[in-house]
């Protein structure tokens, strides 16, 4: 049997020898796997007993850690023996108090191949060659470094390879842009977002590629999914750049259409109109500006309302959801209850939109400040009837629109 071992460390940790493979997804104790993965991460470098004791028993004050390490080494070797139980050579060598991988064996490791491809791509001036190298590198990256291991020692290495991957993805996107390969951008962004769901730049490039390739509907769907994810999962608002892209998409010139009935059908709201009109904030801005112009002509009074949910423990400043998972869950439930209260309370002609993680804005035509305040109080009462937990506080403000001549 060959002495070559194929090792993956990007995503799941696996070692393959011939037709046999072991994986850290196997239902086993973490400690022997931690030892194996640490030694594979260091490849040919040796580690002394003290290093391994600190690594594996950092919280253990036992006086018998040295003996426990020998037992752990035996367990680790037993796992690796599954690859080639008849081989005479051990994969993990202990020599003069030093632990290391057997230097007589050949280990082909995915992180090494990945890094080599990324560095080769940086040096290539030919677009086609750089594209091919980056595509190959990205195919190798199945997930972050030792994804199933939560130990602190791997964090710097994981960040190093993750940053290299993100850089390679953006470089490949630039290559695709050069030749207007929007399908390529869509595919690479879709896969990359499975690994880094927090990268707004990838969402931007995905939506832009969908738009430029003629898939406006898919682009708008993706935008709505992204903004909702930002609100609910990450507790952040979409960037100005992403909102600007959204406005560009919705203002895209339609194909020339001369049949007014076709245009009318396209403009008609689907289904029965129920409750107030909910719209994306960029639409809300346009409606606000239109109403401000109308006020100047008619003299009617229209009010802008803002409703905010905050922590009942800190009503003057809600905690950022991303820093407080419990509050994030509570806020998500509260915002769901709030939108139902708004929709149930307002009239069909009223307009509202989500403004931030914890806020909604409303346009309320009314004759007086008192009437508007009465509406806000009804929304507040409806909210508290729906949201029975006393973990959130609702507050509101109102201002008249400034007529614009």
Q: What is the CATH number of the domain that holds 376?
A: 3.30.70.270
**Which string of b and e fits 163-202 if b means at least 16 CB within 10 Å?**
ebbbebbbbbbebbbeeebbebbbebbeebbebeeebebb
pLDDT tier, 256 (very low <50, low <70, confident <90, very high otherwise): very low
Residue that finishes a domain, picked among 232, 250, 268: 250
168 within a domain of the structure (yes/no): yes
* Residue 28 domain boundaries: 4-108
pLDDT tens by residue, 371-390:
899 999 999 999 999 998 88
* 300-328 average pLDDT score: 73
Residue where a domain stops, chosen among 57, 86, 108: 108
Contact 116, 53 (CB under 8 A): no
The residue-averaged pLDDT of 104-119 equals 94
**125 and 102 share one domain:** no
Least confident of 152-161, 186-195, 396-405: 396-405
- Mean pLDDT for the stretch of residues 182-211: 94
Beta bridge partners of 360: 307, 354
- State residue 2's pLDDT score: 66
Whether residue 286 is found in the same domain as residue 323: yes
Average pLDDT, stretch 32-61?
80
Tell whether 129 and 63 lie within a shared domain.
no
Q: Looking at the 3D structure of the chain, how many domains does it have? A: 3
Q: How does residue 97 score in pLDDT terms, banded at 50, 70 and 90?
A: confident
Residues 104 and 172 in one domain: no
**CA pair distance 189, 391, nearest whole angstrom:** 38
Residue 261 located in a structural domain: no
pLDDT for residue 129 is more than 50: yes
Weakest-pLDDT range from 169-183, 235-249, 304-318: 304-318
Q: Is 398 exposed, middle or buried (0-12, 13-18, 19+ CB in 10 A)?
A: middle
User: What is the predicted pLDDT for the residue at 185?
Assistant: 97
Judge whether 118 lies within some domain. yes
Q: Where are the alpha helices (DSSP H) in 83-236?
A: 110-123, 127-140, 155-178, 182-195, 200-212, 216-229
Bridge partners of 309, per DSSP, are 394
* Average pLDDT of span 386-397: 91
Is the same domain home to 115 and 103?
no
Residues 123 and 244 both lie in one domain: yes
Average pLDDT of the chain? 84
The stretches of 29-64 forming alpha helices (DSSP H) are 30-42, 49-56
| R_g over Cα of the chain | 29
- Residue 221 in tokens: 């769907």
Beta-sheet pairing, 392-400 with 302-311: antiparallel
Query: What percent of the chain has a predicted confidence (pLDDT) above 90?
Result: 38
DSSP classification of residue 103: T
Residues 10 and 96 in one domain: yes
Assign 318 a pLDDT band (cuts: 50, 70, 90): very low
Same domain, 237 and 297: no
In a domain, 388, yes or no: yes
Of the ranges 19-23, 69-73, 235-239, the best mean pLDDT one: 19-23
Q: What is the band of 264 on the pLDDT scale with cuts at 50, 70, 90?
A: low
Same domain, 368 and 281: yes
> Is 368 within a domain?
yes
Residue 15 has pLDDT above 50, yes or no: yes
Residue pair 78/70 in contact (Cβ under 8 Å)? The answer is no
pLDDT at 168: 97
> Mean per-residue pLDDT for 84-110?
81
pLDDT of residue 86: 59
Quote the percentage of the chain above a pLDDT of 70. 85
Is the pLDDT higher at 12 or at 89? Answer: 12
Check pLDDT > 60 for residue 36: yes
**Among 77, 108, 139, where does a domain finish?**
108
Least confident range of 13-22, 60-69, 171-180, 185-194? 60-69
- Whole-angstrom CA distances from 52 to 98, 100, 283 are 10, 11, 59
Lowest-pLDDT range of 12-26, 129-143, 270-284, 355-369: 270-284
**What Å distances lie between residue 330 and 340, 342, 392, CA to CA?**
16, 18, 8
pLDDT at position 309 is: 93
Same domain, 235 and 286: no
> Is residue 204, in this structure, part of any structural domain at all?
yes
**CB 10 within 8 Å of CB 17:** no
Asked if pLDDT for residue 258 goes beyond 80, the answer is no
Confidence of residue 349 (pLDDT cuts 50, 70, 90): confident
- Residue 77 is inside which H or E element, if any? helix 65-81
Query: For residue 232, what is the domain's CATH number?
Result: 1.25.40.10
Better pLDDT: 2 or 202: 202
Better-predicted residue by pLDDT, 403 or 282: 282
């Amino acid at each position: 049997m060959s002495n070559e071992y194929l090792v993956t460390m990007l995503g799941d940790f696996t070692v393959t020898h011939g037709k046999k493979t072991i994986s850290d997804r196997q239902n086993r104790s973490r400690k022997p796997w931690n030892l194996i993965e640490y030694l594979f991460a260091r490849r040919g470098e040796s580690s002394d007993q003290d290093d391994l004791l600190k690594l594996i028993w950092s919280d253990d004050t036992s006086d018998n850690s040295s003996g426990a390490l020998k037992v752990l080494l035996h367990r680790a070797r037993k796992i690796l023996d599954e690859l080639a139980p008849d081989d005479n050579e051990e994969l993990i060598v202990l020599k003069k108090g030093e632990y290391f991988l057997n230097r007589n064996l050949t280990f082909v490791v995915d992180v090494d191949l990945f890094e080599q491809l990324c560095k080769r791509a940086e040096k290539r001036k030919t677009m086609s060659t750089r594209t091919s190298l980056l595509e190959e590198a990205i195919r190798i990256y199945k997930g972050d470094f030792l994804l199933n291991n939560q130990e602190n020692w791997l964090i710097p290495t994981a960040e190093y390879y993750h940053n290299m991957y993100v850089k390679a993805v953006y470089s490949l996107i630039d290559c695709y842009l050069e030749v207007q390969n929007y399908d390529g951008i869509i595919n690479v962004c879709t896969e990359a977002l499975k690994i880094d769901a927090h990268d707004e730049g990838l969402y931007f490039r995905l939506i832009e590629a969908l738009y430029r390739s003629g898939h406006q509907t898919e682009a708008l769907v993706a935008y709505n999914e992204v903004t909702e994810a930002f609100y609910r999962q990450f507790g952040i608002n979409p960037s100005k750049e992403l909102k600007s892209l959204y406005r560009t998409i919705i203002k895209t010139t339609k194909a020339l259409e001369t049949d007014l009935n076709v245009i009318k059908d396209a403009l008609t709201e689907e289904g029965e109109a129920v409750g107030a009109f909910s719209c994306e904030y960029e639409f809300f801005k346009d409606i606000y500006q239109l109403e401000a112009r109308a006020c100047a002509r008619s003299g009617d009074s229209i009010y802008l309302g803002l409703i905010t949910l905050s922590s009942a423990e800190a009503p003057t400043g809600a905690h950022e959801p991303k820093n407080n998972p419990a509050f994030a869950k509570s806020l998500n439930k509260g915002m769901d209850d709030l939108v139902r209260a708004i929709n149930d309370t307002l009239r069909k002609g009223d307009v509202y939109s989500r403004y931030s993680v914890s806020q909604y804005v409303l346009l309320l035509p009314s004759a007086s400040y008192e009437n508007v305040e009465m509406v806000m109080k009804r929304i507040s009462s409806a909210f508290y009837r729906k949201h029975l937990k006393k973990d959130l506080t609702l507050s509101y403000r109102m201002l008249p629109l400034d007529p614009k001549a």
